[in-house]
Every structure is written in C-alpha cells, then in structure tokens.
Structure 1
Amino acid sequence: DNELHLDALECLNELGGELRICNLQSVRDREEAHKANLRLKTKLCKLIFEWTKFSTGTCDEVLESLQPPSGLQSLIVWNYGGEKLPSWMSRPVHGSNIGSLLLDNLMELELNYCINCRSLPPLGQLHSLKFLALRNMEKVKCIGNEFYYDGSNQGEIEVFPALKTFTLRRMRNLKEWKATTAAIMFPCLEELLVSNCPLLESVPLTGQCLSLKKLRIEDCSKLSSIGNGLATSTLLEELTIVKCQNLCSIPNLNGFSSLRSVYVYDCSKLEIVPIAGICSSLEEFCIFECKELRKIGDGLSTSTSLKELKLSGCANLSSIPVMDGFSFLRNLDISNCRELVIVPISGRCSSLQKLHIFSCQNLSKIGDGLSTSTYLEELKLSYCPNLSSIPDLEGFCSLRILDIAICYNLEIVPIKGPCSSLEKLNIYRCQKLSKIGDGLSTPTCLKELKLSACPNLSSIPVMDGFSFLRNLDISNCRELEIVPIRGRCSSLQKLHISSCQKLSKIEDGLSTSTYLEELKLSDCPDLSSIPDLEGFSSLRVLDISICENLEIVPIGGQCTSLEKLHISLCQKLSKIGDGLSTSICLEELKLSDCPNLSSIPDLEGFSSLRILDISICENLEIVPMGGQCSSLEKLHISSCRKLSNIGDGLSTSIYLEELKLTDCPNLSSIPDLEGFSSLRILDISIYENLEIVPIGVQCSSLEKLHISSCRKLSKIGDGLSTSSCLEELKLNDCPNLISIPDLEGFSSLRILDISICENLEIVPIGGQCSSLKILHISSCRKLCKIGDGLSTCICLEEL
C-alpha cells in the first residue's frame, strides 16, 4: 500500500493465504525489501508482486530480496523491469538433497509484462508446477535447454513433470522454441495455448505429450510447423489454429477418438487437414479462410458424432468426405468454396436442422441423403449457379425457412407432402425455375412468401387457408399469370406485386384479407381488375402504378385507416371506388398519368390529408376538395387540361405550405388564399384562363412566388404586400398584368425576376429591400418606372 513500507510486514510471520504487494517501484533498495521477511511467512499460499510503472533501477535487487517461503503454491509477477529473474526461482532448499528446490511446492506461476527479461530460469525442474503463463516478455528470443533444467542432472529426467496448462502470449520476439532430447517433456500437459508470437517458427511438440487435451495456436504468422509429436496426442479434445499464414501442414490426426473440436481460421498456406482413422467424438469441425486447402482427410467420414460442420473461404477445396450416418449433425454451413462440386450427404443425417450453402459457384449436386433430414428447420442456398436440382423435400414437417437465391440453373423447388411448419419461403433470381412443388399448398403456418426475378415461373400452388401469411411479395416473374389467393388468408398484411408483365388475375380470395395493411401493384400491364377492397379497415398504403389495363380501383367502404393512396401510369383507369370518401385518415393522395380518370370521390372532412398531388389526368374536371382539409400542407396539380374547378374547401386549408398549379388551361379561378399564414411556396404556370391570383392578407410566411404563362392574369391579390418574408418573386409571360402590389419592407427578398409582362407599367420596389441580390427585368414593353426603393438595395449583385 502507498501508506505502508515493507518493514510493516517484518513481524507478521503468521500471515497466511494470499498477499498482494503493489507499487514495488517505490521500494528504495534491497534492505527495505529484505525487511519484509517473506521467507519466514510459511503460511502464505499465494504471492502477487506488482510494479505499476516500468523501472529498471533497483527492481532486480528488490525481487531478489523478496524471497518467498518454500511452501508457496502460487506466484504472480506484474511489470517487473529487470533483465533476469531472481536466483531463488531455481535455488535448492538450504541443506536439502540435490534436486529439492525452494519453489518445489509451487503449483502456479505467472510472469506478466516482464519486458526486459532476456532469458528464463530452469522452471522445468519445479516438480509441483501445474499452471505456467508467460505473457508479454518481449525480449525473450529463444526457449531452450536452460528453460527445462540446469544441466546438473545425469541421465534422462522428466521436465515439467506435473504441468497441466502452459500459456505463451504476446512474446513478440520469440523466434525459436527448442525441444530437449535429454528429458521427457510435458508428460502431464493438458492445455497448450500459444498466441501473438509473430516470429515463432515452430511449436516443438514431441511424442511425450500424451495427456494433451487442448491445443490453441493463434496469431503466429511465421509459424511453419507443429511438432510431429502431436500425432501421439490421441487424447486431444480441442484443436484451434488461427491466423498462422505460413503453416503448410499439421501432423496426422489418426485415431483421435477423444477429439471434439477442430477450428482452423486464416491459415492461407495449409493444404490438408489430415483427419484419419476413427474420430468418433468429433462434434465441431470449422475451417475458415484457408485458400490453399485442397483436402480434408477421409477420417471425417467416421465422425458420426459431429454436430456442426462449417467450411468457408476454402477456394481450392473441390470435395469433402461422404457424410453418411451423421445422426447428430445439426448445422452444415458451406460458403465461398468455389471449386466444391458435391455436398455428399448420403443419408441418416436425421438431426440436421440448418443447411446453409453460399457462393459455391461449381456446386452441381446435393446428395440425395438430404431427403432423410426431415427435421431440417432452415435450408438456405445462395449463389450456386450450377446447381440444377435439389433433393425432394417431402415430409419436412419441421422446415421453417426455405431461402434460395441466385441459383440460375435450378428448375424445380421440390416441396412435396406436408411442410406444415414452413414460415418463410424466399426465392430470388432463379432464372430457370419453372415450378414450385404442390406441397407448398400445405404449409398453413407460412408467414412470408417472396418470389423475385424468376422469369420462367408461370404458376405457383394455390394459397388457401394460409391463415398465418403476413407478407406476400412477388416481383419480376414475367411469365406468372395468376396469384392464386383462394381465401382464408386472414392475416395478410402486405401484398406487393411488381413487374409481372403477364399477370392477368389476382384471385378473389384477396377480399377475405381484411387485415391487409399495404397493397402495392406495379408494372403489371395485363392486370385489368383487382378484387373488391370492402371492409379493409387496416389498409394503410395503396400504391398502384404501370397497370395499363386496370379500369377500376375498387375501394369499398370502411377503409378507415388508409393513409397513402398513390396511383400512376394506369392509362385505362376510369374510376376510383366511392369508398375513398370514408378514408378520412388519408394523409397522401397522389394521382399521375391516368388520362381516362374523369372524377374522384369527394374529399370532405379529410382532416389528416397533408399531400394532394395530381398530374397528367387529362380528363379530370374537378378536384372535389370539401371543407375540413385543415392539415393540407402540399397541393400540386399539373397537366390536367380539362380541370375547371378546385373545390372551395381549399380556403379552409390554412396550414398549406406549398401550392403548385401547372398547365390547367381550363381553370379560370382558384379559391381565396386568405389567412394562409404557413404558405411558403406559390407556383402557378400555364393557366391560360386564370385572371386573378387571390392572395389574401396574412400570407406572412410566403417565401417563393412564381407565376408564368398565365396570359389572362390581370391581378395579384393585395395580400402580397403583407408577405414580407418573400425571398423570390418571378413573373413570366403574363401579358395582361398591369400592376403588382407594393413591395415595401421586403427585407428578405433576394431575387426579383420579371419578363414578358408587356402591359406592366411599374415595378413598385419600396424601401427596405436590403437583401435583394438579383434583379432581372426583360421584355416589359410598357414598363416606365422602377420604384425608388431600388436605391436602398446595396447588396445587389446582378441587375
């Protein structure tokens, strides 16, 4: 402790258990350390020495003087800065027989961040040592005989006779680790963990590690060999090798009947995983990112206890051993193995739950034994362009997810018999797919069905009684003619159909899907009708586009939740069902390019409507805005050449922010814009018969006013004078306009652009137009005056 000196321990010889001494960099010299009398504290079991800062001054003398008692069982050292470790680590007990060391009772030793130590004492002579960890000893370059014994022994001896766990971590300069031939090494070793030793070239396992159960080697980029003695470690249970990019081979794993887990990752030069003989206990086998791997030993075929097999990023692996009788296999995941031709499932894989195969470009076959895997829950196949068929999926009563994508040559998805648990079926970009098995009609638990980019698919099985189906999405299936919804699809929430050019019918069972929330139909030019939407009280979004032959959008009553109605490019559309009038929660109504649409239902009491956008509806005569459209923010109408009336209800839309009217030549007037305090943008163009733009007072937020090609326009309402926030005023091709309201106090006005207003006589710029930057006036042949306020426009940039 910072408040105590080591001499406070001098008389505490009954101290027992664990003692941690921190801040040893504060100890002045060997005399102060010696006063701790640790060697006399025989009841101590565990000692922790800790320097909180690296120091090289007296730390070696201090540690030498902190000699522990001979009965110590655990010693941990942190941040020691000396170049060598203390002599008492290998010193014989005073007066004892030769070979009896001071630390002979030590069972655990950790040396952490001893960054200046260049060598290691003969720790192999510690007869009781079971756990040894060397971490961050960055100046140790070699582990040799001096690590095992001191050379005084004659004949063959055992080194580390009791050691069970040995950890080497972050020994960044360790290049050489030698075995010793004069001794038996690690006879009891169970776990060897080597990590972050980037210069280490070899792990010298001899044939004496007969007890080894766990071997983990990671981040040793220069490692080129593992000692052949590994082949005798037949009690091995876990083998993990990670990021050893220079490792070309590993010793044969022959008869490793206890091996449970093999995990190899990013060993880019490894060519073979040599599993041989009977590996009957293997449960997990994972190989990732081994680009040169060409072979997995046939012993894998004997691993009938295997539960998980994962292969990924093994670009040169062309085959794997046959999987027959793998009755415990639950997860098979293969990805990015482009040379793999066959997944050899031969049979009796009765516990298989997940089969995922991704990006195996040359894969042409999945073994027929898959048909016996009737407990399969997930089957995902993606980017296997050479796969032309998959085994029959008959009686797969546990299958929940079937996902197939980018399998260009696949012709049939062979769903047969009851797949009663199927919840998701997604098929994407299977160009040759022509059939989905009739067994699809049986999965009454189906929640999601997505079919996309299957241009040869002309039909799908009947969907009747799919009471759990929530999402049905079909796109780019150009040969599909019918969506066979027969009924009892009562949970359907989303129906999206797009780019199905031959689709002519959606069956009437859709009318029972009254919980539908979204209906989107796009680019189905042969579709002439859709089932009635009566009582669809949950429908929020209805979006229909590029359905050229559709004549009616049959909105019935009680569509009370409808928020968005978008219809575009439906050339034959002549009617929208009167039920739209009940959709008083509507927020967006967009109609575009429906040239045969002559009327729309009344919009009375649509208090939630925010956006109304109508364009290229050439036969539309009236926009029937009733009262109480109080939330309307944007009204855009363009290219409705027969439009003659906008309902007076517009006058109640005082929260309107944008009003854009374009190319409606029959429209001669618009409702008064009185009290429109939120209006920011007013844009009116190509209105040949419009005579007045009725801007009333309190349009105080107006920022942009654009008027063009209104040839009969003679007046702009005087309320413009109150729009002192105006930033842009553009008037173009209004030959009958004689005057405009005074622009007095328009301190925000930046752009004033007036052109082809032949009868305009005055541009009434008053004072305080101090922000004006651009003033353009052209082709105003009667203009005789520009207001004197121009003189105050000192920020003007263009005139």
Structure 2
Amino acid sequence: MKEKIHLQDLTLSWIEEDVDESNVGYDEESLEALLPHGPLSNLQQLSLNRYGGVKIPSGISSLSNLVKLSLDECNKCQHLPPLDQFHSLKTLSLYKMNDLEYISERENNGEFSDSSFLPSLEQLTIEECRNLKGWWQRQRDSVEEFHNHSLPSFPHLSYLHIWECPKLISLLQEAASESKDSNMKVKIHLQDLKLSWIKEDVDESDVGYDEELLVALLPHGPPSNLQELCLIRYGGVKLPSAISLLSNLVKLSLDDCNKCQHLPPLDQFHSLKTLSLYKMNDLEYISERENNGEFSDSSFLPSLEQLTIGYCRNLKGWWQRQRDSVEEFHNHSLPSFPHLSILQIRICPKLISLPLFPYLEKLELHKCSLKPLEQTLRMEVINTATPKNLTSIAATSTSSSSSLAASSFIPLSKLKSMSIWNMEETLPKELMCNLISLQHLDIENCCGPLPLSRHLTALQNLRVVGSKEVDLTNDGDEMEWHGLQSLRKLNFSYLPNLATLPVGIQHLTSLQTLEIFNCPSLLAIPEWICNLNSLQTLQILDCPILSRRCEREAGEDWSKIAHIPHLLIDRWRTYSYDLELNQTF
C-alpha cells in the first residue's frame, strides 16, 4: 500500500468487537501499514470507521493532498494529528469519538493567522463527541486569557454542524460569550449553521445559558452570508436580536425549542424562503408587534415559499394582539404572503389567525382550526392591476369583462393539493368554489358532510380515510359529484359506518380507479357501476360482506364487476389502521 501513490480514495472499516487492552496498538499498526506514505501521495479522501486505536499514526500528516477526512465511531481515539497541516482539506467530519477531548494537542498561543489556519476548509461536522471540550488541548477558559490569545478563524468555512457535543458547547460559551472578537463572529463565509443541544433538564436560574451561547456562535454582520440556520432543542426563552442581522437568510428551522417564547421580527428577512417551527410549546405569538395595517402584501416576507408549523400547542396567532372579531378583522385587514406556495399546520389547536395565503399551491391541516383557511377563502378578489392599468381600463369604453378578469385573482385558485386530517370543524361547501385548480384532496378522520363542490372541476384524486362520522350518503350531494368530471382515482378507507356507496359516483365519467379498503358495513356493489365506462381498476380489501359478494363467478355481485380489466378482491387480507393513530402525533 505504501507504493500506491495513485490511490485517491481510501475507506477502511473495522468490525465492532471488544478489544483486549493489551492489544490496543493493533489497529494503529494496521493503519500505519495500509496508509500510502510520502509527499507524492495523491490520496484525497480518507474515511476510517470503528478504528480502535488510541491515536492516528503520524504518517497521516504526509497526506498533503487530502481533501476529505472522516472519522466515524473511533471511540478509543484520544489523539489526532495536527489538522492545521492539511492545507487542502475541505471537509472534516468527526462522529461518535467518545474518548476524544481535544482536536489538537498544540496550545493556541496566537501563532495562527486567519489565512493559514485550515485555509481550504469549507465543511465541518462534529456529532456525538460527548467528551470533546475544545479544539486545543490547553484551551484557556478565562475571559482575560481569551482576550490575550484570540482564536483564529476558518477563512472559508461555509457549513458548520455541531450535534450533541455538550462539553464542546459549554467551552465555546465560556470563552466566547464575553468577547466581541470571537472567531465565530467574523465568519462571513459561513452559509449553513446547524446546532443541536442535548435534551436535559435545565435549571431555571441558568435559563440564559443557551441565549449567551447562541450569541457567541452566530456570525454577525453585515456582511453575513449565512443562508441556512437550524436550531434543535435550543433552551433559551428568546432568540438573540443578532439573528435579525442575517439579511441573507433563506431557511430558518426551529425544532423542539420548547422554552422559546419570543422570536425576532421575521418580516425583516426579505430573502427567507423556508420557515419551520416545530415543537415550540411556550410560543404563543410569532411576532410581538401588533398588526395595525402597516404591512403591504409586497413587503411582508416577500420571498417566503414554504411555511411549516407543527406541534406548537399554545400558538394562538402570528401577532401578539391579533384582533379576532369580524368587525376588527375588516378594519385591520391581514397582510398576505405574496409568494407562499406550501403551508403545513399540524397539531396547533389554538392557532386561529395567520397572514393570508391566497397564492398557495399545497395545503396540509392536521388537528387545528379551520379559521386561517376560512379567512383566506373569504378574501375579496385580488386586483393584480397597477393603478396605472386600472386607469387605462376605466378610460377605455371598449374594455370588456375579460380585461377586468385578467387583472384579478381569486384567492386559492392556484391550490393543487389539500390534506385535512383530524378536524373537528367542517369546511363550508360554499367556500370550496374558489378551488378551481385543486387536483388532490385528502380527508382523514374528519366529521360532517364531505366538502365537495361542482366547482372542483380539476380534481383528479379524492381520498376519504378513517372517519366514523363523515357523511357520504346525503342524496343532495349527487349534483356535487356530477361536477367532478376530471376525477380519476377515488379511495374510501376505514369507514366503519359506510353501508352504501354515494349515488353521485355514477356520474364520474373519467374515474379509472376505485379503491375500497376496510369498510366492513358496505353491503353491495350498486347496479350503476356499469355506467363508469372509464373504470379500469377496482380494489376491495378487508370488506368481508362485499368481498364475498364479489367472488369470481360465484358472488352475487360478480356480474356487475366482471367487465372491469383489473380486479383485486381480497377478503382475507387485514390492515391494522388505528383511527386514533393521528391523534397521538
């Protein structure tokens, strides 16, 4: 192996087993023998998995062309070679190195310049190194010594991921929280920052600990190039105001930050495209500013395309003193997300008001209020013409209604996919007339009449799942089914009280696939199924009565379905669908 100067990528993986302490040097000797040596080595990528040595052999330092180094589950390793000698290294990953306390055994004495310290490193990932304390072995912790020996910076680091390294994080906090010259604060090249805290009980007297740490770790600007920020299990009550300076932020994700009660003004992030808030139990309002009509639709989060809010059980609204009455709602109209295309709200039972989302293309609502959706559906038609255009239209006596229609937009008329799960409210049918582009509708564990409308002319896929109370037998719905001329696939699943198929289905001339799963009360196939000339596939699973009637040649309903090309009738196959499943999420 020592003569293989053309080797570029080397991955070595050891079998995980108990090693006799008396033979601890075995892996070190084998690695020394396997590594290509010498300045002529072209090795660019080195990955060691479950290496059992206490130290990495010094021969690795001769790999001057190394670009990527990955050490994975090297639990006994306590000593690494001087990494600052790898001037070409772009990616460094340290994962599950339980005995490693310091990355470098050299003391930081100010000898490093920002341009010479790992000058090519772009991506640094450190995960589950639970005893790692710092980069340097004798890193000074006091504020005075820290000022005298300032930390160098990674000159080109663009991605930093620190995950469950509790002792490393505490040292960074002690060293950096008091210093305006922290190396993290001048990392203008950092583009992606992900920080994860270990879940543990925090003393209330130390509640500001995580806040100080985050201030120390954030790159400050302008100019800051940070585009993605992800915080997991952050324990602070508020996010530091310095986040507002991240003017180029494109993605912000806050996950399991249960103590956080205050967010910075998000409307200042004009480049933000993706916002995710998940498991923030103490958060009641996203913004502390009152909505007083000062926002215009063009200036309010103008780039936001995707918004996910999940398991925020005490979240009430976007604004701290959001008005809820109809009169005040009209007097102080809500601003709209001008480019939001995906909205997901899950398990937020108190959330009753959001900015409007008229241009949405995908919507998921799971165990929350329908009020935000109703507010958007009740919007007036949006005038997309400029004042200049309106003047010219009014001045032209020949202007037609089509010209006016071209300058207007119906709220949610672009919506293509909608999923509604575990809802106690029923969506009024009259509000469905806007959904002229809806192609996929998924209704799960809901009650009340099925919200169909003859205006759903683009609907292609309808799925009704897991409800004991949804009403499918209302004869008045027959005309609503008649309007679904584009529907190609229809699925009824886990409907224990469904005794007959809705009569309106016979008008679905484009229906190609009909699926009926676990509907034990369904008694028979209707005579009108032969009217479905486009039907190609019929699946009946776990419907014991229906399956028996549809047995090939012998069943009472066989003659009604024999002409269908693809049949799957299986009364023995069982599914374990729990109607309460989604309520536990």
User: Does the CA-based 8 Å contact 2:487-2:508 persist in structure 1?
Assistant: no
Q: Could you tell me which of 541, 546, 570 is aligned with 2:348?
A: 570
In structure 1, give the amino acid aligned to 2:412: F
Secondary structure of the residue aligned to 2:454 is helix
Q: Distance in 2 between matches of 1:470 and 1:690?
A: 54
In the TM superposition, what is the alpha-carbon distance from 1:720 to its structure 2 partner? Answer: 3.3
User: Does the CA-based 8 Å contact 1:544-1:566 persist in structure 2?
Assistant: yes
Larger Rg: 1
User: Does the CA-based 8 Å contact 1:595-1:616 persist in structure 2?
Assistant: no
Q: Distance in 2 between matches of 1:471 and 1:623?
A: 40
Q: Distance in 2 between matches of 1:596 and 1:699?
A: 27
Where does residue 133 of structure 2 map in the other structure? 388
User: Does the CA-based 8 Å contact 1:598-1:619 persist in structure 2?
Assistant: no
In the TM superposition, what is the alpha-carbon distance from 1:590 to its structure 2 partner? Answer: 0.9
Q: Could you tell me which of 482, 487, 503 is aligned with 1:696?
A: 482
Q: Could you tell me which of 412, 430, 434 is aligned with 1:606?
A: 412
In structure 2, give the amino acid aligned to 1:659: L
In structure 2, give the amino acid aligned to 1:637: I
After superposition, what is the alpha-carbon deviation per residue over 1:242-296, rounded to whole angstroms, capped at 9, x for unaligned? 9xxxxxxxxxxxxxxxxxxxxx999x9xxxxxxxxxxxxxxxxxxx98644789x
Where does residue 743 of structure 1 map in the other structure? 530
Q: Distance in 1 between matches of 2:168 and 2:79?
A: 15
In the TM superposition, what is the alpha-carbon distance from 1:698 to its structure 2 partner? Answer: 8.0
Q: Could you tell me which of 199, 213, 231 is aligned with 1:474?
A: 231
Where does residue 159 of structure 1 map in the other structure? none
User: Does the CA-based 8 Å contact 1:598-1:620 persist in structure 2?
Assistant: no
Q: Distance in 2 between matches of 1:697 and 1:382?
A: 55
2:215 equivalent to 1:461: yes
Where does residue 488 of structure 1 map in the other structure? 245
User: Does the CA-based 8 Å contact 2:417-2:439 persist in structure 1?
Assistant: yes
Matches within 5 A, 1:140-159: none
Alpha-carbon RMSD across the aligned residues, in angstroms, is 5.8
Higher strand content, 1 or 2:
1
Q: Could you tell me which of 260, 270, 280 is aligned with 1:524?
A: 280
Q: Distance in 1 between matches of 2:58 and 2:526?
A: 91
Q: Could you tell me which of 317, 320, 334 is aligned with 1:552?
A: 317
2:503 equivalent to 1:716: yes
Q: Distance in 1 between matches of 2:451 and 2:233?
A: 39
Structure 1, unmatched stretches of 5+, are 1-194, 196-215, 219-239, 243-263, 269-287, 419-434, 667-684, 758-764, 766-770, 778-785
User: Does the CA-based 8 Å contact 2:318-2:354 persist in structure 1?
Assistant: yes
In the TM superposition, what is the alpha-carbon distance from 1:503 to its structure 2 partner? Answer: 2.1
User: Does the CA-based 8 Å contact 1:753-1:776 persist in structure 2?
Assistant: no
Q: Distance in 2 between matches of 1:749 and 1:720?
A: 17
Where does residue 362 of structure 1 map in the other structure? 99
Alignment: residue pair count = 448
2:168 equivalent to 1:410: yes
Secondary structure of the residue aligned to 2:210 is coil
2:192 equivalent to 1:448: yes
Q: Distance in 2 between matches of 1:716 and 1:607?
A: 28
Secondary structure of the residue aligned to 2:344 is strand
Matches within 5 A, 1:743-782: 743=530, 748=536, 750=538, 773=552
2:431 equivalent to 1:625: yes
Secondary structure of the residue aligned to 2:135 is coil
User: Does the CA-based 8 Å contact 2:189-2:225 persist in structure 1?
Assistant: yes
After superposition, what is the alpha-carbon deviation per residue over 1:524-574, rounded to whole angstroms, capped at 9, x for unaligned? 211212137962121111011001111114695352221100000012112
In the TM superposition, what is the alpha-carbon distance from 1:655 to its structure 2 partner? Answer: 1.8
Compared CA separation, residues 562 and 356, structure 1 to 2 (3 A): closer
User: Does the CA-based 8 Å contact 2:249-2:271 persist in structure 1?
Assistant: yes
Where does residue 279 of structure 1 map in the other structure? none
Where does residue 271 of structure 2 map in the other structure? 515
In the TM superposition, what is the alpha-carbon distance from 1:496 to its structure 2 partner? Answer: 1.0
In structure 2, give the amino acid aligned to 1:363: L
TM-score between the two structures when normalised by the length of structure 2: 0.58
User: Does the CA-based 8 Å contact 1:481-1:502 persist in structure 2?
Assistant: yes
User: Does the CA-based 8 Å contact 1:551-1:573 persist in structure 2?
Assistant: yes
Q: Distance in 1 between matches of 2:525 and 2:31?
A: 86
Matches within 5 A, 1:583-602: 583-584=358-359, 586-594=360-368, 597=371, 600-602=374-376
Secondary structure of the residue aligned to 1:449 is strand
In the TM superposition, what is the alpha-carbon distance from 1:453 to its structure 2 partner? Answer: 4.0
2:155 equivalent to 1:399: yes
In the TM superposition, what is the alpha-carbon distance from 1:483 to its structure 2 partner? Answer: 2.2
Q: Distance in 2 between matches of 1:488 and 1:617?
A: 39
In structure 1, give the amino acid aligned to 2:194: K
2:456 equivalent to 1:653: yes
Secondary structure of the residue aligned to 1:482 is coil
User: Does the CA-based 8 Å contact 1:485-1:507 persist in structure 2?
Assistant: yes
After superposition, what is the alpha-carbon deviation per residue over 1:776-798, rounded to whole angstroms, capped at 9, x for unaligned? 67xxxxxxxx7986898999989
Structure 2, unmatched stretches of 5+, are 15-25, 140-148, 201-208, 290-294, 320-332, 378-409, 572-585
Q: Distance in 1 between matches of 2:501 and 2:80?
A: 81
Q: Could you tell me which of 433, 442, 448 is aligned with 1:636?
A: 442
After superposition, what is the alpha-carbon deviation per residue over 1:595-649, rounded to whole angstroms, capped at 9, x for unaligned? 58586323344332111112223245536635453321112234444x67948xx
In the TM superposition, what is the alpha-carbon distance from 1:461 to its structure 2 partner? Answer: 0.4
In structure 2, give the amino acid aligned to 1:571: P
2:339 equivalent to 1:561: yes
Compared CA separation, residues 394 and 712, structure 1 to 2 (3 A): same
Secondary structure of the residue aligned to 1:693 is helix
User: Does the CA-based 8 Å contact 1:616-1:638 persist in structure 2?
Assistant: yes
Q: Distance in 2 between matches of 1:745 and 1:321?
A: 76
Q: Distance in 1 between matches of 2:489 and 2:538?
A: 10
Q: Distance in 1 between matches of 2:565 and 2:173?
A: 79
Where does residue 119 of structure 1 map in the other structure? none
User: Does the CA-based 8 Å contact 2:239-2:263 persist in structure 1?
Assistant: yes
In structure 2, give the amino acid aligned to 1:364: E
User: Does the CA-based 8 Å contact 2:496-2:521 persist in structure 1?
Assistant: yes
In structure 2, give the amino acid aligned to 1:525: N
In the TM superposition, what is the alpha-carbon distance from 1:521 to its structure 2 partner? Answer: 1.1
TM-score between the two structures when normalised by the length of structure 1: 0.45
In the TM superposition, what is the alpha-carbon distance from 1:515 to its structure 2 partner? Answer: 1.5
Secondary structure of the residue aligned to 1:600 is helix
Higher helix content, 1 or 2:
2
Q: Distance in 1 between matches of 2:468 and 2:6?
A: 78
Q: Distance in 1 between matches of 2:516 and 2:65?
A: 74
Secondary structure of the residue aligned to 2:441 is strand
Structure number with higher relative contact order (C-alpha < 8 Å, ≥ 6 residues apart) = 2
